[in-house]
Structure formats: structure tokens, C-alpha cells
Chain A
Amino acid sequence: MDLQTRTENNAIVITISGRLDTVTAPEYEKKILDLIEGGNNCFVVDFEQLDFISSAGLRVLLLMAKLLKEKNGQVRLANVKGNVYSVFEMSGFTTLFKMENSIAAALATLI
């Protein structure tokens, strides 16, 4: 897994590529926690280049959403598709997260 971050419109755009699974989820979790603890509370997570996600990856997304809610923050997901979208559907995540088809559209929904 590779994780890139950049700031756009006062939000952190996180682009994850590769796999978000049992092996990589702890690393992702650590980076997210660091960003949230660093005072960031608006995120767009871009899944364009993510090929695989398992429940280990979903748990980190859930934790992220929970922590941001406590801080009145927000998270949007962009470009969730293919196999990754199937896993979201299987686990009911399509209704838990606000998802958009592009980073720009996701940024536009942040209040």
C-alpha cells in the first residue's frame, strides 16, 4: 500500500493505492491517527488506485469516521469502484459513508 496526502480547499486529500488489508491496515491507521491528532478534521479519501480492501481496511475507515465525528470533522470517499465497491456493498458501507465519483465532487460536499 502506498499513501499520499495533499491539502486542497482546507481538506486533506488521501490517495491510497494497492491493498488495504490485514497487513497494511495498521500502517494506514497510524497515519490517519497522526493526521487527526495533528488537528486535521476534513478528509477526502481517494480510492481510485486501491485494488483490494478487506474488513481490516474497513475497520480503519470506521475508526476514522468515529474519531472525526467526535471532533465535528468530516470524511468523504471518492472513486470507490470495482471490487472495492463490492466489499463496501457486502458490508453495508455504502450507506455509512458519503461517496462521490471524483475528488472534486467529494471536496464540494464538505461543509
Chain B
Amino acid sequence: MIKIENLSKKFGDLVVLKDITTEITKGEVVSIIGPSGTGKSTLLRCLNLLEQPSGGNIYIDGVDILDKKTDVASIRQKMNMVFQSFNLFSHLSVIENLILAPVKLKGMNKQDAQTKALELLRLVGLAEKANNYPDELSGGQQQRVAIARCLAMEPEIILFDEPTSALDPTMVREVLSVIRRLAKEGMTMAIVTHEMDFARDVSNRVLYMDEGIIYEEGSPEQIFDDPQKEKTRTFIQRIRCYTCRISSPDYDLYAMNAEIEAFCEKQILSKKSQHNLLLLVEELLQLYRPYLKTMALDITIAYSEKTERLELICESAGQKGNPLDSQDLSDDLGLMIIRNLTESISYQWLNGKNRLQLLIKTNLT
């Protein structure tokens, strides 16, 4: 139904979409997720030609919509869009908002358009608001009207651009339930959303966008339960990171401690977790100290808001080797503390780097 090939979009020097290739088939519900500013909305706007792509091809039912001969208005009738900010005409009543496009663009007679509009308002639970003006409605109600207005054009595909982002949390559910109903009825939809539970429930397929590309895609189970790529995992598990580089044995321990404390406070970690983390970092740094003359050490503390896992990752170049296995240690005091503070420790030689990953015990935190 929609075929996108090597789509790119630049705004001046800023590359927003790099090389997007994907397909959306009839009846499919595709959620597009990812951090802000990674091109999700731009992708939808390119599909609807609200933005002119810089390169690539978009086919709707085999028609190249970037071909200058293509009738853009008819494409837009096939593929309608619901915006974050509703975009209702404030000087028109709810029903007038709904009948405007069918009468003006499709040539429908006013009576039929009104009958159809009332049907659609019933579908979104707002028939009694037909003669109200948008300003008299809540945000959730306005968005439901916007969805009904979109349906009034009988589109084959609906693009939703963050349909609940501008709503109070109390109103999100009413809008999502309307979209869920459309999904059940087999409407083809592409939905940019930050509502992860909704995306998991409603979608057949999830696209995770990052860096202007489709970074990872798969079924909701694959993306939400077993993401394969690092950035997807970071996003899905709401991982917050603190990273620092130590490139000399004369590192400033107290400056680093202050930063780690600030990170812990920001993530609302307990005082005990904070203590254990500082202790673990110090013990590791003592083990790494002999190597710091010749190589830099990158320390990352990663806390998942979703799973509450607290991990510490040490990455260093130089010779392959796990500092925890070193034979040169004067005693095993540091190792004993490290092992007591951690649930698991794994060492990998990865891409020419030593990577030590420690999962901090939760029963101590």
C-alpha cells in the first residue's frame, strides 16, 4: 500500500531523514517510536507531502507520489492525517468542521455529508457536541473530532502524528480507545507515538527511529521485549546514563564522585545505592590504575527506569585482558568488595576494546 525507498529529507545542512526504506501493507498498523528529533514526524509529513522529500521514492498503491504529474490532492484524500495540535477550524462548529472537506473536495451534498458526519461523531462518542465549537471542548474531545473529520474523507490510510502529545494524561485514554477501535476495524495506520503501552497493544509492527534512519524494526514483542540494538534497548528500557572518561592515573576522584552523586540524585536512587556505586567505582579504578598511564578508561553508569537495573560498564582499549583476572594484585580485598556489590560480572573483548559489565546487586540497593 505504501512503499518508501531510500527516502531522505534535509532542512538546509540538517539531515533529518537519511535513508528510509520500508513498506506498509493494507490493514497494517505501524507504530513509529523513538527519541524526539529523530525524524518520526518528518517521515509522516513527507508521506503526506506536507514536506517535500530531498531524495528517494514514495509509492501509494503503486503510484509514485513524488512524480510531478501525480495529483497530490487525490493522494491526500486517500491518506489523511491527524495532527498533535488537532488543527480544527475554531470559527466552525464541530459538524461544520466535519462536512467542510467532503462537500468542498469530494463534492458530496451537504445533507449526506451531515448524516455521515453525525455517524462518525457517534463513532467517536461526540454526537451530542455536533453544534458546539472547538473552544467549548476539552483537548481529548477536540482530538476525537479531528479523528472523525479525518474519517469523513473516507481515507484508506491514516497517519497519526503524536495524537496524544498535547493532551492531559486524563484525556489520552479516550483518544487511544478511538484509534484502537479503528485498528480493530482494519484501518491502515501509521502512528507516531510516545505511548509505549499503546504502541505495543495496537501495532502489528513497530519502527524504532534514531539518527534519521529506521534503526530497528520488528513485531511489538521483538522491539519491546527483546530489542537487539543498543539504542533501542536504551530507549525502550528508559536507560539513563552517566559517562566519564579517565585518561590519567591522577584522576580527580572527588570531582567524579560529585558527578555520580548528582546522577544518582537525578534518578532518585537510594543513599545506599549511591554509596555502593561510589564504592564500586573506586574499587574498579584501583584495579585499572596500573593501566591508566597508557590507556583511557570509559566508565558508564546505566540505570533503567523500567527494570530498575543499575549497571556499570568499563571500556578500555589497549591490550586484551580482564583487570579482574590480573595476577599482579597485591591482595583480593578490592575484588571481594566488587564481587559482593555485584550480581553478575561479564568480560568481553569487543571491537578492539575490553568491556567489563557489572550488574549491581539490587538487594543491596
A interface residues, Cβ below 8 angstroms from B: 21-23, 52, 54-56, 58-59, 83, 86-87, 90-92
Contacts and interface: CB of A to CB of B under 8 A. Distances in A.
Given A52-B278, A55-B333, 5 more contacts: A22-B285, A52-B275, A54-B337, A86-B364, A91-B340
B286 A58 contact: no
B197 interface: no
Contacts of B298: none
Contacts of B283: 54-55
B253 A55 contact: no
Nearest to B336: A91
Contact of A21 (B282, B331, B336): B282
B1 interface: no
User: Which one of A55, A86, A90 has the greatest number of beta carbons of chain B within 10 Å?
Assistant: A55
Nearest to B251: A22
Say which size band chain B's interface belongs to: 10 to 19
A55 B272 CA distance: 18
B341 interface: yes
A21 B333 contact: no
Given A55-B333, A55-B334, A90 B341 contact: yes
Contacts of A92: 336
A86 B276 CA distance: 10
Interface in B18-67: none
B358 to A, nearest CB: 15
Interface of B: 253-254, 272, 275, 278-279, 282-283, 285-286, 331, 333-334, 336-337, 340-341, 364
B274 to A, nearest CB: 10
B33 to A, nearest CB: 40
9 closest cross-chain pairs (CB), A and B: A90-B340, A55-B333, A55-B334, A54-B282, A83-B275, A91-B336, A90-B337, A91-B333, A58-B333
A23 B253 CA distance: 8
A96 to B, nearest CB: 11
A86 B283 CA distance: 15
A106 B66 CA distance: 86
A87 B336 CA distance: 10
Contacts, number: 42
A23 B331 contact: no
Contacts of B331: 59
Contact of B286 (A22, A86, A91): A22
A90 B278 CA distance: 15
Contacts of B341: 90
Contacts of B337: 54-55, 87, 90-91
Nearest to A93: B333
A22 B253 contact: yes
A102 B283 CA distance: 29
A83 B340 CA distance: 13
Contacts of B286: 22, 54-56
A21 B279 CA distance: 9
Contacts of B336: 55, 90-92
A23 B254 contact: yes
Contacts of B272: 83
Contacts of A22: 253, 282, 285-286
Contacts of B285: 22
18 contacts: A21-B253, A21-B282, A22-B285, A22-B286, A23-B254, A52-B279, A54-B282, A54-B283, A55-B283, A56-B286, A83-B272, A83-B275, A87-B279, A90-B336, A90-B337, A90-B340, A90-B341, A91-B337
B50 to A, nearest CB: 57
A83 B336 CA distance: 16
Contacts of A23: 253-254
A22 B283 CA distance: 9
A92 B339 CA distance: 13
Nearest to A83: B275
Contacts of A21: 253, 282
Nearest to B281: A54
A3 to B, nearest CB: 18
Contacts of B254: 23
A90 B340 CA distance: 6
B39 to A, nearest CB: 46
